Structure 1
Amino acid sequence: MKKRYYFIIALVIFIPTMIVLSLIKDSHQKPNIKISNNEIVTSVPNCSEPTIKIDEIQNIKLFDNVEVGNKQVGYKEDKCYAGYFDTQFGTCFIYINPNIHSYIYFETKDDNCLINYENEEKTKELYGIMNNK
């Protein structure tokens, strides 16, 4: 009986501790974007991590300015907005540095997306790659 009691107490302490540690770990990760093998791979803390196949992209447009509103789910700091946000295009998956004023908007079968890359020049290069798929 005592062993069972100690086991239940250990579970009650262990499970919430693991959940809290997992949430802390996720919240301290930085967003990341990689382009390889004809895919755009994003990693955003506390958010789904879509992989976007470049050949499935439709309706690609390049913008110098966009309006980004409230965060629905994701990550928002001075140099990076990542996750699902309200935008002038509706709710979009975005991965942007708001200080880089070059944005690629596109649609996939699942999402509307708004991204930019390391700088304005790299963003325009990526736009060229995506547009010439």
Structure 2
Amino acid sequence: MPQPATEIVMYAARLIRQVRRELDLPAYIRVLSLLDELGPTGISQLATADNCAQPTMSAQIRQIELDGYVSRRPHPDDARSSLIELTAAGRTELATMRTALGAAAAARLGDCTPAEVATTIHVLRTLTSEVSE
């Protein structure tokens, strides 16, 4: 039987996969989420955060830049590189996707009590705050 921490990771990942499949979310949503979390960031840092190769991230950025979801500006400390940041359209797209994800997750919470939901939120916030600090 898996340890409790292993089960948390396993079931959280399973939920995300199920909801993403159900909603058929575009892959770029991860990049928009990372930019929302990290703020203006270079492509190398985004690739590291997303655990992908820099050319892969560059291709994703090029596409979502064409879509108007991100913009580039000169890096203040390195004239050879630029910072990628969310545009207003990118923030709107991310909010729309998060609302859809939330609705899909909410549909699965029907049998949970408000106390169970609050406990789950508390545990997940605790786990993710340690990772992001």
State TM-score, norm by structure 2.
0.27
For the pair shown, the structure with the greater C-alpha radius of gyration is: 1
State TM-score, norm by structure 1.
0.27
More helix by share: 2
More strand by share: 1
**RCO (CA 8 Å, sep 6+): is it higher in 1 or 2?**
2
